Chains A and B, each alone.
Chain A
Amino acid sequence: MATAVSPAVTPPTRGVQPLQAGEGHSFLLRRLHSLSGIVPIGAFLVEHFVSNFEALKGPVAYAQQVRFLNALPFVRVLEWTFIFLPLLYHAIYGLYIWFRGKSNVVYYPWAGNWMYVAQRWTGMIAFIYIGQHVWRQRFSGVSLPEHPGAAFHKVQMELSNPWILAFYAIAIIATCWHFAYGVWLFSAKWGITPGDKARRKMGYVCAALGIALVAIGLSSLYAFVGPWYKNAPADLTPAQITNGESTSSAPSNEPPASK
């Protein structure tokens, strides 16, 4: 088929170069970035928010959840394969994507263009937050995998600083935004929602998802700083976690009346 052969190629010498048809690995890397945001990172985000919601039931329930997660088979392998490495990849490749885009929202202030910019900034906030969060909660201080009973106290101490608390709240909103719009982008780019109507409906679904996650996240924060579980015990013994008893001397350490 003679006409199926491309004519001789004379690329322009300046400006944006033409498509490198069929060459390079950026397709794989970029799609991996897109997918990793949904699974495993997005899935982990949901799990993490649901787990932290246990804090509303108090230090013992929270400790039970931490112990349960850390008792999963191959937990350290799971942690690195499905959380740390994908997060690191998603974050670093995401920055690379950001630096190569040239935002023009100043000239074209349209909704999609704003979301394009917001996706980059919320990703940056999430990256900085997750970096310090993982370092301070997972890799420094009391080691929670060995001392699940100390989990509530450790987070409570962290959040006692109002600046840190504000940072947590902002980061929760930014991360949920990034994830919810990320789901929308994923559906659009992978051809799950090609139609305008389908994309609009998906927009509502993702907005609801984002709002629900923010609500879960912020109410978990409240469990640590609100009046219900003030002065949680520094650690719980395995027996206390198992039997569901807490020996804190603090008088306010009672479950809320609504429970």
Chain B
Amino acid sequence: MAERTVKFEVKRQSGPDAAVVWDKFELPYHPGMNVISSLREIAANPTTVDGKATTPIAYDSNCLEEVCGSCAMVINGKARMACSALIDNLEQPVKLQPLTKFPIVRDLMVDRSVLFENLKRVKAWVPLDGTYDLGSGPRILPQVQEENYPLSRCISCTICMEVCPQFNESTGFVGAATIAQVKLFNQHPTGKVLKEERLHALMGDGGIQECGYAQNCVQACPKQLPLTRAISDIGRDVIIQSVKDLFTT
């Protein structure tokens, strides 16, 4: 019996403006292999199906256990984490493409800095000046902890943005991940000192109003963040803030 193999088709681009080529690869099957382990195997011997030597495929990855958020890519047409994409569960040939909504760096690597930029613009942090001992922080009620923990699991993979029909160059939509982080930090007893600033930021162009509630974000999120709930809650907060502004500023 012939050795069992796995076929891959990879969309490649040697640079941001280089031509697109699809390379085909074939690997011997091992139990439990996933897309990242396959990419590493290809890198060890970067030869296409027709025996042509090529460069190793460039891709982002780090933790290999779906907590760092680096290896998001489009696998068989769906955006997901490559490290948790088991070959056993995928149709062959396995088609790998970079995320479509972010500038290409090379091959499967994209520049996702827009998310970091958005997180900065909504001040997604707890402001603390640590020149002296501030003592222990305020107590966070267990109910609030329960609500915050799922939001804190965001791994900044940008899959919620990739699958969002509203996240594109004409809307400049901020995306679900950033809105969820606004909720997380607005609920923090120290972080909420910046609540109004965050809500004001989300009223800007590309803000929360651009959400079309297609709910793809919550379907695709690999960490099951309650994204639609966060958008709803923050949507209400932003509206209340805008009405307050109307009468008090």
**A15, B103: Cβ atoms closer than 8 Å:** yes
A1-28: contact bitstring with B at CB < 8 Å (1 yes, 0 no)? Answer: 1111011011111111111111110111
Interface: A48 (CB within 8 A):
no
**A30, B206: Cβ atoms closer than 8 Å:** no
**B165, A27: Cβ atoms closer than 8 Å:** no
Closest B residue to A25 using CB positions: B205
Interface: B213 (CB within 8 A):
yes
**B200, A22: Cβ atoms closer than 8 Å:** yes
**A19, B103: Cβ atoms closer than 8 Å:** no
4 new A-B contacts at CB < 8 Å, known A16-B172, A19-B201, A191-B233:
A6-B121, A21-B202, A22-B203, A104-B216
**A16, B169: Cβ atoms closer than 8 Å:** yes
Q: Report the count of interface residues on B (CB-CB < 8 A).
A: 67
**A102, B114: Cβ atoms closer than 8 Å:** no
* Residues from 108 to 134 in B contacting A, C-beta threshold 8 Å: 111, 113-114, 117-118, 120-123, 125, 127-129
The distance in angstroms between the C-alpha atoms of A1 and B128, with both chains bound, is 8
Pick the residue among A4, A104, A190, A194 that contacts B239 (CB under 8 A).
Answer: A190
**A103, B204: Cβ atoms closer than 8 Å:** no
**B111, A108: Cβ atoms closer than 8 Å:** no
A97-129: contact bitstring with B at CB < 8 Å (1 yes, 0 no)? Answer: 101111111011011110110000000000000
Q: List 29 A-B contacts (CB under 8 A).
A: A6-B121, A11-B117, A13-B103, A16-B101, A17-B114, A18-B118, A18-B121, A19-B174, A19-B178, A19-B201, A19-B204, A20-B206, A21-B200, A21-B204, A22-B204, A26-B207, A27-B205, A31-B242, A97-B212, A105-B165, A108-B216, A110-B219, A112-B213, A112-B216, A116-B212, A116-B213, A190-B235, A192-B236, A196-B228
Shortest CB distance A14–B (Å): 4
- Chain A interface bracket (under 10, 10 to 19, 20 to 34, 35 or more): 35 or more
Shortest CB distance A17–B (Å): 5
The distance in angstroms between the C-alpha atoms of A9 and B120, with both chains bound, is 8
**B204, A100: Cβ atoms closer than 8 Å:** no
Hey, which chain B residues are within 8 Å of A20, CB to CB? 172, 204-207
Interface: B163 (CB within 8 A):
yes
Pick the residue among B114, B193, B202, B206 that contacts A15 (CB under 8 A).
Answer: B114
**B206, A101: Cβ atoms closer than 8 Å:** no
Closest A residue to B130 using CB positions: A3
* Residues from 152 to 197 in A contacting B, C-beta threshold 8 Å: 185, 188-196
Shortest CB distance B183–A (Å): 10
Q: Taking A12-B103, A113-B215, A113-B216 as contacts, is the C-beta distance between A100 and B129 under 8 angstroms?
A: no
Binding site for A on B (CB under 8 A): 16, 77-78, 101-103, 111, 113-114, 117-118, 120-123, 125, 127-129, 161, 163, 165-174, 178, 193-194, 197, 200-216, 219-220, 226, 228-229, 231-239, 242
Shortest CB distance A155–B (Å): 36
Hey, which chain B residues are within 8 Å of A19, CB to CB? 117-118, 121-122, 172, 174, 178, 201-202, 204-207
Hey, which chain A residues are within 8 Å of B235, CB to CB? 188-191
Hey, which chain A residues are within 8 Å of B201, CB to CB? 19, 21-22
Hey, which chain B residues are within 8 Å of A194, CB to CB? 229, 232-233, 236
Hey, which chain B residues are within 8 Å of A13, CB to CB? 103
Shortest CB distance B55–A (Å): 23
Scoring A2, A10, A108 by chain B CB atoms within 10 A of each residue's CB, the highest score goes to A108
Pick the residue among B16, B118, B123, B163 that contacts A108 (CB under 8 A).
Answer: B163
